[in-house]
């Protein structure tokens, strides 16, 4: 046997600045997925605001929850003129979200329709009769002292 047959295999080159790291595609994919998710949340939020505006919601307010809570990215609060108006807005909103294929939607509070919660995962919508809304005052509860006021639409 020749000495060359026992030679060690060539050493693998260590990664350098010029050598691509194997994890780069995964990092790019995560960033791309996050951007797509952020866009889907923004689209859902816009759909909610447009639907409530179309249904003549009163005192429409949106509160960004990112950094405040992990339950959702946005909270939307609006009032209806009556229990019938509140229930109709909730039902139409749920149908529009489902029709757009955005998310599954859960609704709480429809039987009495004083306060209806529409949970679309990343956007939570509270629909109230005006008297009930002023009693619970959710806007005040979710405001941070040093943050700007919630944006009204």
Q: pLDDT at position 49, please?
A: 97
Residue 37 domain-assigned?
yes
Residue 5 domain-assigned?
no
Q: pLDDT at position 145, please?
A: 45
| pLDDT tens figures, 45-70 | 999 999 999 999 999 999 998 777 88
Residue 19 domain-assigned?
no
Residue 15 domain-assigned?
no
The mean pLDDT of 78-97, rounded to a whole number, is: 97
Domain with 41 in it? 26-152
Residue 62 domain-assigned?
yes
Domains contained in the chain, number: 1
Under the banding of pLDDT at 50, 70 and 90, the label for residue 95 is very high
Distance in angstroms (rounded) separating the CA atoms of residues 25 and 2: 44
We report the CATH number of the domain holding residue 45 as 3.30.460.10
Residue 107 domain-assigned?
yes
């Amino acid at each position: 046997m020749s000495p060359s047959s026992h030679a060690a295999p060539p050493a693998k080159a260590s990664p350098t600045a010029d050598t691509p790291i194997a994890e780069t595609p995964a990092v790019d994919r995560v960033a791309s997925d996050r951007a797509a998710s952020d866009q889907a949340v923004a689209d859902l939020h816009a759909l909610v605001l447009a639907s409530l505006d179309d249904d003549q919601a009163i005192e429409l307010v949106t509160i960004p929850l990112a950094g405040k809570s992990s339950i959702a990215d946005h909270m939307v609060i609006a009032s209806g003129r009556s229990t019938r108006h509140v229930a109709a807005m909730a039902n139409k909103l749920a149908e529009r979200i489902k029709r757009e294929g955005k998310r599954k939607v859960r609704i709480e509070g429809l039987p009495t329709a004083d306060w209806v919660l529409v949970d679309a995962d990343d956007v939570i919508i509270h629909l109230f009769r005006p008297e009930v809304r002023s009693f619970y005052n959710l806007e005040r509860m979710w405001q941070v002292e040093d943050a700007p006021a919630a944006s009204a639409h």
